[in-house]
Structure 1
Amino acid sequence: MKQVQRLLDQLQPTAPAEVVCIPGSQEPEGTVIVFTGSFNPPTIAHIALLKQAQHYALDIYGPAHVYAAFSKRTVDKEGVERPVLLDRIMLLRDILRRRLPAVGILLFNRGLYVEQAQAIRQSFPKVKRVLFLMGFDKIIQIFDPHYYKDRDASLEELFSLAELFVVPRGDSGEKELAELLAQPQNKRFARYVISRPFDAAYRNISATQVRQGGVSYEHEAPQEVRHFIHRIRPYAPPVKRLDGTEQDIYQEHLAYLTQHIGPVS
Structure 2
Amino acid sequence: MYISVQMLQRMKRVQCVLDQLHPSNEAEALCVPGTEPPHNTVIVFTGSFNPPTVAHIALLKQAQHYIQARHGMHLYAAFSKRTVDKEGVERPLILDRITLLQSILHKRMPRTGILLFNRGLYVEQAQAIRRTFPRVKRVLFLMGFDKIVQIFDPHYYADRDAALEALFAQAELLVAPRGNGGEKEVAELLEQPQNKRFAQYVHMQPFDSVYRDVSATQVRQRGSQYERDTLREVRRFMHYTRAYAPPIKRLDGSEVDIYKERVTYLSQRLGPVS
TM-score where L is the length of structure 1:
0.96
Closer/same/farther in 2, CA of residues 215 and 249 from structure 1, 3 Å limit: closer
The runs of 4+ residues in structure 1 deviating greater than 4 Å are none
Identity fraction in percent: 70
* Paired position in structure 2 for 1:180: 189
**CA distance in structure 2 between the aligned counterparts of 1:149 and 1:221, rounded to whole angstroms:** 37
Of 7, 13, 18, which residue of structure 2 is paired with 1:3?
Answer: 13
Q: Please, what is the CA RMSD of the aligned residues?
A: 1.3
Confirm whether residue 204 of structure 1 aligns to residue 181 of structure 2.
Answer: no
Question: 1:194 aligned to 2:203?
Answer: yes
Aligned residue type for 1:127: V
Q: Is the 1:54–1:64 contact (alpha carbons within 8 Å) kept by the matching residues of 2?
A: no
Equivalent residue number for residue 127 of structure 1: 136
Deviations 1:207-243 (A, max 9, x none): 1222233665232111110000000001111000001
Q: Among 10, 25, 44, which residue is 1:34 paired with?
A: 44
Query: Could you tell me whether the CA contact under 8 Å between 2:39 and 2:133 is conserved in 1?
Result: yes
Q: Distance in 1 between matches of 2:223 and 2:135?
A: 45
The one-letter amino acid of 1:167's match is A
1:94 aligns with 2:103: yes
Q: Does the CA contact (< 8 Å) of 2:223 and 2:245 recur in 1?
A: no
Give the whole-Å Cα distance in 1 for the aligned partners of 2:58 and 2:238: 20
Aligned to 2:8: none
**Number of the residue aligned with 2:168:** 159
**Which of 81, 87, 90 is 1:78 aligned to?**
87
Give distance in 2, aligned partners of 1:6 and 1:149.
Answer: 35
- 1:149 to partner: Cα distance: 2.7
**Structure 2: where are the runs of 5+ without partners?**
1-10
Provide the residue aligned with 2:3 in structure 1: none
2:252 matched residue in structure 1? 243
Q: Aligned residue for 1:12?
A: 22
| Counterpart code for 1:206 | S
Shift of 1:124: 0.6
Confirm or deny that 1:46 pairs with 2:56.
Answer: yes
2:57 partner amino acid? I
1:254 alignment partner in structure 2 = 263
Name the aligned partner's letter for residue 244 of structure 1: G
Aligned mates of 1:83, 1:214 — CA distance in 2: 14
